[in-house]
A = this chain, B = another copy of it.
Amino acid sequence: MTYCVGMRLDQGLVFMSDTRTNAGIDNISIFQKLHTWSIPGERVVTVMTSGNLATTQAVISMLDERMKAPVERSPSLLEAPSMFQVARMIGETVRDVIAEYKGAAQQSEGVFDATIIVGGQIKGSAPRLFLVYPEGNFVEAGDDTPFFQIGETKYGRPIIVRAYRSDMSFEEATRLLLVSFDSTIKANLSVGPPLDLQVYAKDSYEVGFTRRFEAEDDLIREVSSRWGEALGRALESLPMPEFDL
């Protein structure tokens, strides 16, 4: 499994992903799921992947190769005129990769699937955030749905739904995401640290603060250990039911 969240703020975009991949529960590895391409001063595109690792790696590699091979005829992410076209391009790539291996090797549904969050900004328009489905189609985040989650989304969702505000600072959003990831990691063994964080500051057109939080990171440990206590106090502040026993 996987857990990634992409979030739209007034100040820009925030991305967080775990790095655990597993084939069964006894074959666990660490792979980066957050990838960024940029032309400083002109565009930044950040992608996070979930699903079959062979599929997501193939998608990332194909996107990457197109940018590097000068004779490649397919347009690259670095040439797309808009984030909408970037999302389309990624959707087509996902669909092509899935179709190739699905047709060739097996009949079982869904095994080669991949779902992708892509966000960024291209000069001339605002930062945008998309969720790309395995079928290649996609949806965009808006004011009503300002964040996307992929992978094991349920455990970490209630805290984001409750505490998200579009005017959060990047630091506040990171803290919120660390709590959401902590809840998920505690509940699902197939989601695990290290966690990759990247922020994109609106109109900066350069890759923002990027950090990997290792499992033994002081901040992660402190957030995790103090969250139980903080929740206890939050519960205390609610009205107490009254009933006769």
Q: For A178, what are the chain B residues with a Cβ–Cβ distance below 8 Å?
A: 241
Q: For A25, what are the chain B residues with a Cβ–Cβ distance below 8 Å?
A: none
A interface residues (Cβ-Cβ under 8 A, vs B): 154-159, 161-163, 170-172, 174-176, 178-179, 183, 186-187, 199, 201, 208-209, 211, 219, 222-223, 226-228, 230-235, 237-245
Let me know if A235 and B163 touch, CB within 8 A. Answer: yes
Q: Which of B161, B174, B235, B243 contacts A186 (CB 8 A)?
A: B161
Let me know if B158 and A187 touch, CB within 8 A. Answer: yes
Let me know if B209 and A244 touch, CB within 8 A. Answer: yes
Sampled A-B contacts (5; CB under 8 Å) = A156-B158, A158-B158, A223-B239, A227-B238, A230-B235
Q: State whether A154 and B187 are in contact (beta carbons under 8 Å apart), knowing that A201-B245, A243-B211 are contacts in the complex.
A: yes
Q: For A156, what are the chain B residues with a Cβ–Cβ distance below 8 Å?
A: 158
Let me know if A239 and B219 touch, CB within 8 A. Answer: yes
Let me know if A157 and B159 touch, CB within 8 A. Answer: no
A93, chain B: closest CB distance, angstroms = 31
Q: Which of B186, B222, B231 contacts A234 (CB 8 A)?
A: B231
Q: For A244, what are the chain B residues with a Cβ–Cβ distance below 8 Å?
A: 209
Q: For A163, what are the chain B residues with a Cβ–Cβ distance below 8 Å?
A: 228, 231-232, 235
Q: Which of B155, B171, B239, B241 contacts A243 (CB 8 A)?
A: B171
Let me know if A240 and B171 touch, CB within 8 A. Answer: yes
Q: For A154, what are the chain B residues with a Cβ–Cβ distance below 8 Å?
A: 154-155, 187
Given contacts A155-B158, A158-B159, A163-B228, 9 further A-B contacts (CB under 8 A): A163-B231, A171-B241, A174-B241, A175-B240, A178-B241, A219-B239, A227-B234, A230-B238, A233-B234
State in angstroms the CA–CA spacing of A187 and B232 once bound together: 22
Let me know if B187 and A231 touch, CB within 8 A. Answer: no
State in angstroms the CA–CA spacing of A199 and B228 once bound together: 25
Nearest chain B residue, comparing its CB with the CB of A239: B222
A172, chain B: closest CB distance, angstroms = 7
